[in-house]
Structure 1
Amino acid sequence: MRKMFIHRTLSLLIPAVFFVLTSGKAQNKDLYLKSKDNLNKITLSLTEDGKLSYKVTRRDKTIILDSPLGLNLENNDFTSGLSVVNVSPIEEKREKYELKVANNKVADHFFKTKSITFKNKQGALITIDLIAGEEGVAFRYKFAEKEEKTRVVKNEITGFHIDQNAKGWLQPYNKAGDYTPGYEDFYVNVKSGDPISGARNVSVGWCMPALFNVNDTKNWVLIAESGAEGVFPGCHLQPDSNGGMYKIAFAEKDEKFTLPLPDTNAYPESNLPWTMPWRVILIGDKAGDILLSTLITDLAPASKVEDTSWIVPGKAAWSWWSHPDDFTPEMYKKFTDVSASFGFRYTLFDAGWEKANKEGKIIDHALSKGVQPLVWGYSAEYFNPEKRKKRFKELADMGVKGVKIDFWCSDRQEVMSTLQSVFEDAAKEHLLVNLHGTTVPRGWHRTWPNFVTAEAILGTESYFYEPRFPEMAAQQNTVLPFTRNVAGPADYTPFALTFRKYTRLNTAVHELAMAMIYTSGIIHFADSEEVFNSLPNELKDLFKEMPATWDKTEYVIAEPGKEIVLSRKKDNLSYIIGINGTNSVSPISIDLAKYGKGFSKFRVISEGADPLMEFKISNYPITSKWQYNLAPKGGFIIQFIK
């Protein structure tokens, strides 16, 4: 009887166990997506208790280890108890577009997409969109149903699990303060899981983009965000990586600066439908693949400006760096004349310009010289929609061509929303936008091409404020092209030769090369009229012809924190630019015949007798191999000549 009982019991249990196992497999079936080239893959998994996770591989090698997915809403939990409701068919899409400000003018990529809908214990639905392409993968959360009631997200448990053997470059996310957060801190070379160290200010997490060298150094990955069009706060990564697990964190509620923001929590909130920003994972075999990636703009909405003919990248003279306390009409006019003499399209009037314009008509002077004025503004003055629109119209009627709006210092959702309205309202008046004291861009220069540049970078003004900057600047300059500049155009304000409070250690040609290493829709050159006028004629000619955007860019050498060498082309202009981020001489060898086709000779701009202030200029015939010793914290520029 006992044997019969056991046999009967087992006969009932086995089908039940089989059902659980097969239903578990069914839950995870088809929860993956591969890129068209079959290299990049994102795979979702559900546990028996309905917890959702994902992993990312390239050539079947792990890039992102198993990492959590899910949202915890005010009245709805999507972190457990989930089950699959629907898996959409795989679709192919192509993103082909031109950028006004870019490493490469045309972006053209194919993607595979899939959407997976889940149900929680209460029967509420959430959809996760997946996308996979040759440059990486991405995912986002979406509530597709319509509902008037405001939904509030209390926590997003999304993580990015990086193997603890991996090293990376991370920027501390500064706690709200007098001028923070503003993405103006050093990128720190860390091992996955390391605590925050070396920050300029008290910090509450790590910024995105975040760069890691993974898969036993065989691959590079950049964790970033795309979109955030006012429907979500800007996000960063939590400080406690928990063994290499970097989780999403929202903006802090005290990120208000002097902005007219309520003293309330900063949780994401919206009515439904609600599509959230992309969580982007850029993947490359080389660091240079990350530098040149357009995945962040590929995922951003297409341009909302129908006619973009009035949006023209260019260069500008700028008085503040060399004369920070002089707001006289004479000084503004002097720098407008510098722009005119070098053929710069723009001149930037910084803080104090309005009084100078009343006293000396500096805008009329610029227009009479054929130079288009850009003017500074304070962020709090641009929050009210009616006042903002009125101000933009006033500026456009005065002949102003663009606005530099400063001191945002917040990633709160209200700020993200206001920035989109700033771009839109400015575009209606044909005004360019430059953001300072701001969050990092998130592919917005595709959606709003009049958004031509932004700070969110530890730039040359740091020679005034940061004692560690001179020693660390060269290294940082070889990290930022792989991190900050991938997210969007960067207003580094290059070419600062005059010594400031903290003495520069980079060579003069390193500083000049920065204008051609970084991508910015307007290059605001630091330094004085006297420095510009003292330059050799060959350098004056370089300033006149130097583009502010590029048709084609290739990386020749790409080693974050060490050195970077780029080939840059625009129309019939061709250059190779390199900088050294280390304190040691770096021998390099370049096949100039490969990059100099159609040219008969090349000019090399290198260090002069006094490397900190002088340049050496030499001309040579094109050779198959060019060997050069990059000076410590040095650089070079090659101009190909017909």
Structure 2
Amino acid sequence: MKQIILAVMVFAATTIQAQKISSPDKNFEMTFALSTKGEPTYALTYKNKPVIKTSKLGIDTKDVAPMLDGFTIDKTETATFDETWQPVWGEEKTIRNHYNELAVTLSQKAENGRYIRIRFRLFNDGLGFRYEFPLQENLTYFVIKEERTQFALAGDHKAFWLPGDYDTQEYSTVTSKLSEVRGLMDTAITPNASQTPFSPTGLQTPLMMKSDDGLYINIHEAALVEYSCMSLNLDDKNMVLESWLTPDAIGNKGYMQAPWQSPWRTIVVSDKAGDILLSRMIYNLNEPTAYEDTSWIKPVKYCGVWWEMITGKSTWAYADVPSVKLGETDFNALTPNGKHAANTAHVKEYIDFAAAHGLDAVLVEGWNVGWEDWFGKSKDYVFDFVTPYPDFDVKELHRYAASKGIKMIMHHETSGAVRNYERWIDKAYQYMVDNGYNAVKSGYVGDIIPRGEYHYGQWMVNHYLYAVKKAAEYKIMVNAHEAVRPTGLARTYPNLIGNESARGTEYESFGGNNPDHTTILPFTRLMGGPMDYTPGIFQTKISAYNPDNNSFVHTTLAKQLALYVTMYSPLQMAADLPETYKKHLDAFQFIEDVAVDWDQTWVLEAEPGDYITMARKAKGKEEWYLGAITDENTREATFTFEFLPKGKTYTATIYADGKDASYDNNPQSYTVKKVKVNSKTKLKQKLATSGGCAISVK
């Protein structure tokens, strides 16, 4: 690790109203100042172009005087920091953390000299800042009414946005001018198992935008700990975004105890779209890894008993009865429905497939009792996470999987009954250890219990991290679905190997994701961490599994392969059924081969909402994988291989859309061919409508 720290402290008189810092490469300049009312403000430029115009900062409080105005500058401190660090898993082997810092201490004389600190870090890819509340006599406990952080934009930008909601991110992204948000909001809000929209101009982060003069701007947050998740509310007359925190059951938005700090507010900017995808600023704003031993944390490629239930071919429930009660219902006395997928014999088929094709693990959903009446009931004691159905032999499957070299992934659906999950969590994790499970997929479908709490409020934010840290005590990796969107915490807690927090592949069975969906997610949802998107669907007509479901996957088969490169995750699922993969083993070879951990990543071409072409080098191997995807439009992707070692020739296997391929009429048309490539090679490949191309280079 290389580390250089240079700090300079400047004590400023209260008459000094403005301070400036630049990024290490001088492309960014950030200005801090106090208004005539003593209101903290900041502004940001990139290559002399305005990104954020003068914007106010502050915290509105409920039980003490607001921290909004009446401030004077006590002192300013500047520092420069430069290091390289190695993530446990990631898109690069090493990450550089290089920034210039300005910390401004502000006091309110009218409040007996009460003071706060605002810390700014300016990187070569953007700005991060946070509020800090040092321990002091006049500021200990306080309740946040609202955070008043503004982002005054320089124009009516093109935006890729989701409706602001306290409970879900599972909406289709809308692409429009910011001025059009209000008129589109009603149609943007589609049904979900739990949802609480909060404003006709409310937006979620990460919010991706593009200005008329070609700047790509992304607003999000980093290191969300013991604080409410931030959304944004748009003043569409003045083009000002303002922070909007998720409340609790009685409307309060945060309970603070000094010393503490807010999460970082992040603004990533570039004039190249690909630079947004390569930014690691959000990770850099998180603390280093909290664990001394990380040897038990391993990237995973898996299959599982899941998609067949999502499509309606099979069920999670063991029996078709209207009501069950744990501790009272005798599940051995129930009549099996004949469609329960999580049975011992069937799971062994998945284990056999995984072992035969080089996968690491098998996920099984619906293994534990209680699924008969779990959904939408606001029921506290739904699952106990330790009692299997009569047809699921935990110990035998542990033995069988171990004999094949396969790990098992546990599933814990809380159904939003969070109090119940915490009641069982130690027993559930110990049960996993006792039966050979080292990873869990947790779910939070439905409204939260305690009733009135929201998925993204401070109480739930604390729970998600509690579950991750508790899992680490048992050396368990966590893949949390329906949880709060990630903010780079996987740097600190790398056993958080996956999240959902967006519309995943399951929605292809619920009516379909838009063709541009996965050309946007890397610019939005993936900014804070990887997504368990569950790609790899080869049978794109859902009716092939369930005649009553006429949905179809809005991609070609080749695009499904490319997603393993463009949708980064250390947890990648081969989501389709083994019997389908066996019909296309030549295409499945790419899923067998593709890495889940990387030494380096390159963006060859990208435009949010339109297309992405990426290349990655496998961790510790002389292997490279490339992926290109497009939206509903056909296009010609350009692959360059400048990243290959010079003077060497490699074999590239190209998995491409067939000449007659299209996502809606002929999605399974694909070709596989091999060509020789070197560092000077350039290839062009036609992509079908919502099509793709995947390439392995060895």
Deviates more, 1:93-102 or 1:402-411: 93-102
Distance 1:381 1:349 in 2: 21
SS in structure 1 opposite 2:181? coil
What code does the residue aligned with 1:607 have?
A: D
**Structure 2 residue 55 is the aligned partner of structure 1 residue 67:** yes
**2:359 paired residue among 329, 337, 344:** 344
Alpha-carbon spacing, 1:61–1:164, altered in 2? closer, same or farther (3 Å): closer
What code does the residue aligned with 1:575 have?
A: Y
Any conservation in 1 of the 2:51–2:153 contact (CA below 8 Å)? Answer: yes
Output aligned runs, 1:41-190, within 5 Å: 41-74=29-62, 75-88=64-77, 90-120=78-108, 121-122=110-111, 123-146=113-136, 149-174=140-165, 181-190=167-176
For residue 517 of structure 1, report the CA deviation from its aligned partner. Answer: 1.3
Any conservation in 1 of the 2:342–2:364 contact (CA below 8 Å)? Answer: no
In the other structure, the counterpart of 2:256 is 270
CA deviation digits over 1:545-589, x for unaligned, max 9?
Answer: 211121111001111111110011112111221011132x21233
Output aligned runs, 1:363-374, within 5 Å: 363-374=398-409
Deviates more, 1:322-331 or 1:522-531: 322-331
What code does the residue aligned with 1:576 have?
A: L
**Structure 2 residue 310 is the aligned partner of structure 1 residue 313:** no
CA RMSD of aligned residues (A): 2.2
**1:38 paired residue among 7, 21, 26:** 26
SS in structure 1 opposite 2:516? helix
**1:454 paired residue among 477, 484, 499:** 499
CA deviation digits over 1:206-226, x for unaligned, max 9?
Answer: 111001113x33321110100
Deviates more, 1:379-388 or 1:109-118: 379-388
Alpha-carbon spacing, 1:308–1:594, altered in 2? closer, same or farther (3 Å): closer
Distance 2:422 2:636 in 1: 55
In the other structure, the counterpart of 2:520 is 479
Higher helix proportion, which one?
A: 1
Deviates more, 1:626-635 or 1:608-617: 608-617
Output aligned runs, 1:204-243, within 5 Å: 204=198, 205-214=202-211, 216-229=212-225, 231-243=226-238
Alpha-carbon spacing, 1:422–1:318, altered in 2? closer, same or farther (3 Å): same
Any conservation in 1 of the 2:519–2:630 contact (CA below 8 Å)? Answer: yes
What code does the residue aligned with 2:516 have?
A: Q
Alpha-carbon spacing, 1:576–1:596, altered in 2? closer, same or farther (3 Å): farther
Alpha-carbon spacing, 1:199–1:143, altered in 2? closer, same or farther (3 Å): same
Distance 2:157 2:394 in 1: 58
Any conservation in 2 of the 1:192–1:243 contact (CA below 8 Å)? Answer: no
In the other structure, the counterpart of 2:471 is 426
For residue 49 of structure 1, report the CA deviation from its aligned partner. Answer: 1.4
**Structure 2 residue 432 is the aligned partner of structure 1 residue 398:** no
In the other structure, the counterpart of 2:384 is none
Distance 2:652 2:607 in 1: 25
Distance 2:347 2:613 in 1: 35
Distance 1:303 1:604 in 2: 38
Q: Give the 4+ runs in structure 1 shifted more than 6 A.
A: none
Distance 1:243 1:200 in 2: 28
Deviates more, 1:197-206 or 1:57-66: 197-206
SS in structure 2 opposite 1:145? coil
In the other structure, the counterpart of 1:389 is 426
In the other structure, the counterpart of 2:336 is none
Distance 2:252 2:668 in 1: 48
What code does the residue aligned with 1:536 have?
A: L
Work out the number of aligned pairs and report it: 595
**1:509 paired residue among 548, 552, 558:** 558
For residue 25 of structure 1, report the CA deviation from its aligned partner. Answer: 9.2
SS in structure 2 opposite 1:311? coil
Alpha-carbon spacing, 1:335–1:534, altered in 2? closer, same or farther (3 Å): same
Any conservation in 1 of the 2:14–2:72 contact (CA below 8 Å)? Answer: no
Q: Which runs of 5+ in 1 are unaligned?
A: 1-22, 176-180, 254-262
Any conservation in 1 of the 2:13–2:73 contact (CA below 8 Å)? Answer: no
Alpha-carbon spacing, 1:350–1:240, altered in 2? closer, same or farther (3 Å): farther
SS in structure 1 opposite 2:603? strand
SS in structure 2 opposite 1:137? strand
For residue 520 of structure 1, report the CA deviation from its aligned partner. Answer: 1.2
Distance 2:683 2:28 in 1: 36
**Structure 2 residue 589 is the aligned partner of structure 1 residue 541:** yes
For residue 172 of structure 1, report the CA deviation from its aligned partner. Answer: 1.5
Any conservation in 1 of the 2:594–2:696 contact (CA below 8 Å)? Answer: no
What code does the residue aligned with 2:343 have?
A: T
For residue 619 of structure 1, report the CA deviation from its aligned partner. Answer: 1.7
For residue 164 of structure 1, report the CA deviation from its aligned partner. Answer: 2.9
TM-score (norm 1): 0.88
Any conservation in 2 of the 1:169–1:187 contact (CA below 8 Å)? Answer: yes
Distance 1:335 1:217 in 2: 52
Any conservation in 2 of the 1:266–1:413 contact (CA below 8 Å)? Answer: no
What code does the residue aligned with 1:619 have?
A: K
SS in structure 1 opposite 2:164? strand
Any conservation in 1 of the 2:23–2:100 contact (CA below 8 Å)? Answer: yes
Any conservation in 1 of the 2:14–2:74 contact (CA below 8 Å)? Answer: no
Alpha-carbon spacing, 1:522–1:439, altered in 2? closer, same or farther (3 Å): same
Any conservation in 2 of the 1:101–1:520 contact (CA below 8 Å)? Answer: no
What code does the residue aligned with 1:55 have?
A: A
Any conservation in 2 of the 1:167–1:213 contact (CA below 8 Å)? Answer: yes
Any conservation in 2 of the 1:193–1:243 contact (CA below 8 Å)? Answer: no
> Percent sequence identity over matched residues?
24
Distance 1:361 1:194 in 2: 57
Any conservation in 2 of the 1:407–1:438 contact (CA below 8 Å)? Answer: yes
CA deviation digits over 1:280-315, x for unaligned, max 9?
Answer: 111122111111111001001111011111111020
Distance 2:419 2:426 in 1: 8
In the other structure, the counterpart of 1:13 is none
Any conservation in 2 of the 1:491–1:520 contact (CA below 8 Å)? Answer: yes
Any conservation in 1 of the 2:13–2:75 contact (CA below 8 Å)? Answer: no
Distance 2:436 2:696 in 1: 36
In the other structure, the counterpart of 1:14 is none
For residue 541 of structure 1, report the CA deviation from its aligned partner. Answer: 3.2
SS in structure 1 opposite 2:689? coil
Any conservation in 1 of the 2:301–2:360 contact (CA below 8 Å)? Answer: yes
SS in structure 1 opposite 2:259? strand
TM-score (norm 2): 0.81
SS in structure 1 opposite 2:307? coil
Distance 1:496 1:300 in 2: 34
Any conservation in 2 of the 1:41–1:137 contact (CA below 8 Å)? Answer: no
**1:249 paired residue among 244, 248, 251:** 244
For residue 277 of structure 1, report the CA deviation from its aligned partner. Answer: 0.5
In the other structure, the counterpart of 1:554 is 602
In the other structure, the counterpart of 2:693 is 636
In the other structure, the counterpart of 1:3 is none
**Structure 2 residue 490 is the aligned partner of structure 1 residue 495:** no
**1:445 paired residue among 456, 468, 490:** 490
CA deviation digits over 1:115-134, x for unaligned, max 9?
Answer: 10111231211110111111
**Structure 2 residue 377 is the aligned partner of structure 1 residue 362:** no
Distance 1:383 1:359 in 2: 22
